[in-house]
Amino acid sequence: MQPHSIYIHIPFCRHRCSYCDFNTYVGIDNLIPSYIQAICLEISYIAQISDQKIPVRTIFFGGGTPSILPVDEICKVLDQVNRNYFLLDEAEISLEANPGSLSYEYLRSLREAGVNRISLGMQSANRHELILLDRRHAYYQIAESVGHVRRAGFKNLNLDLIYGIPHQTLRDWCSSLKLAISLEPDHLSLYSLTLEPGTSLNSWVSRGLLPEPDDDLSAEMYEIASELAEAKGFEQYEISNWARREKSGDLLACQHNLQYWRNHSYLGFGAGAHGYAGGKRTTNVLTPGEYIQRIRSWEKEASLNELSFPGSPAAESVTLINREEEIKETMMMGLRLTQEGISRESFQDRFGVPVDSVFEQQIQELIAAGLLEWDPKTRKTLRLTRKGRILGNQVFIRFI
């Protein structure tokens, strides 16, 4: 069986940031113990209904704010995975954290528990932008957190940044990015701000209190970011992600996200978590309260025979993905990988047909439009051009 990834959703936050529409909640920390108990049960149910012990190559605690959890609760989840799955020796175990509230002692205990990668939600180094985004930290706290992360023994650190913030100039963006790079992270995730319905930021823009996002400026910010990051030794490997190479030559890419982009299997545990395994996509019920209730009531009433892998009692939908859909999704996700792209050989091995026969017309047209190219050296990999990275959506839509 191919190694799977595991995503654990932690839907708790101290407050709601102005741009955020994630599945997360404020003021329900009292649910944390029963939520973690439910996650542990879900982890064991899925293992029990699989016909083999599942090898696991990555675990990702995402949110929400996973760093709200006491380390004991994180240990319970990791123990449960270890007991029920075959966690590979080199497994990447990531945890998202917010700067400002991270102590050295907390990080040290996390490291001892086995977490080996931290992703810090930095977002900006500029005070005004952090206030506008409703982030409750300042740059000095980010720098302090990075110091704690390193002292606690983490060799793999990501910083998340956002560009295209209202009133942000090119100069502001470059200064944030340079300050981020000066902290010597191993990985950078740089996202263009999107206005999501229901967020405070969206309502401020629609009421005319803030300017509309400027797509041309965002595209310029993206290009400058690419140049700056590459000049400082980062390699772009995905549309929004850059990583350093280790001395051994390995790129410190996020192994967990690579699993998604390669359209390989992952299990999602927790409220609103998504999964893709055994040829099925799963989505769990959204709210933590309902999630806990579903897992608990099922525990009392049902037997494991009623479940079929990978659908858990908390699954709201389980959708069979046919071969045609899998091919389309593989193209859409794989083309996000700016170096790896879609390999002729892997596509042929996976689907038994050449990629350029399935998508002959689309590939020819997108190459003619300057958005796609075959790797000029090997001619074996189909990938986005620099122009295609900015206009990625125009490419992906042609494959679905």
**Using CB under 6 A as the criterion, which residues of the chain lie in contact with ligand SF4 when the complex forms?**
13, 16-17, 20, 22, 24, 63-65, 98, 121
Task: Please name which of 111, 108, 114, 105 lies closest in space to residue 79, comparing C-alpha atoms.
Answer: 114
Which residues are CB-contacts of 41 (< 8 A; sequence separation ≥ 6)? 295, 299
Side-chain-facing half-sphere of 44: CA atoms under 13 Å: 12
The least distance separating ligand SF4 from the CB of residue 198, rounded to whole angstroms, comes to 12
The least distance separating ligand SF4 from the CB of residue 309, rounded to whole angstroms, comes to 30
Task: Please name which of 277, 264, 282, 275 lies closest in space to residue 350, comparing C-alpha atoms.
Answer: 264
The least distance separating ligand SF4 from the CB of residue 196, rounded to whole angstroms, comes to 10
Report the distance separating Cα 137 and Cα 232, nearest Å: 26
Nearer to ligand SF4 among residue 135 and residue 389 (C-beta): 135
Nearer to ligand SF4 among residue 201 and residue 366 (C-beta): 201
Nearer to ligand SF4 among residue 14 and residue 245 (C-beta): 14
The least distance separating ligand SF4 from the CB of residue 270, rounded to whole angstroms, comes to 13
Burial 319-346 (b: 16+ CB within 10 A, else e): eebeeeeebbbbbbbbbbbbebbbbbeb
The least distance separating ligand SF4 from the CB of residue 18, rounded to whole angstroms, comes to 9
Nearer to ligand SF4 among residue 47 and residue 125 (C-beta): 125
Nearer to ligand SF4 among residue 176 and residue 343 (C-beta): 176
Nearer to ligand SF4 among residue 226 and residue 241 (C-beta): 241
Structure tokens at 389: 């990275």
Task: Please name which of 296, 300, 295 lies closest in space to residue 312, comparing C-alpha atoms.
Answer: 295
Nearer to ligand SF4 among residue 63 and residue 310 (C-beta): 63
The least distance separating ligand SF4 from the CB of residue 62, rounded to whole angstroms, comes to 9
Spatial contact of 145 and 106, defined as CB atoms under 8 Å apart: no
Report the distance separating Cα 163 and Cα 228, nearest Å: 14
Task: Please name which of 12, 126, 109, 129 lies closest in space to residue 61, comparing C-alpha atoms.
Answer: 12
**Residue type at position 395:** V
The least distance separating ligand SF4 from the CB of residue 123, rounded to whole angstroms, comes to 8
